[in-house]
Structure 1
Amino acid sequence: MIVDRHIDALTGTLTALRRQSTTVNRWGSLLAQRLPAGHRLLVAGNGGSAAEAQHLTAELVGKFDSDRPAYSAIALHAETSSMTAIGNDYGYEKVFARQVTAHARPADIVLLLSTSGRSPNLLYAARAARAVGATVWAMTGARPNPLADAVDEAITLPGNTCSVQEAQLIAVHMVCEVFEAALRVSGESRQRAS
Structure 2
Amino acid sequence: MKDVFAKLAADFLSAAVFFILYVATDDVVLATSAAVAVAIVQVVYARIKGVSLSFMAYASVGLVIVLGGVTLLTNDPRFMFAKPAIGHFAIGVIMLKRGWMLRYVPPIVAETIPEYVTVAGYAWAALMFALGLGTIAVAMTGDIKLWVLYITVVAGGAKVAAFALQFVAFRFVVANRIRAARA
Task: Work out whether the TM-score is over 0.5.
Answer: no
Pick the structure with more strand per residue.
Answer: 1
Pick the structure with more helix per residue.
Answer: 2
Give the TM-score normalised by the residue count of structure 2: 0.31
**Looking at both structures, which has the greater relative contact order when contacts are Cα pairs under 8 Å and sequence separation is at least 6?**
1
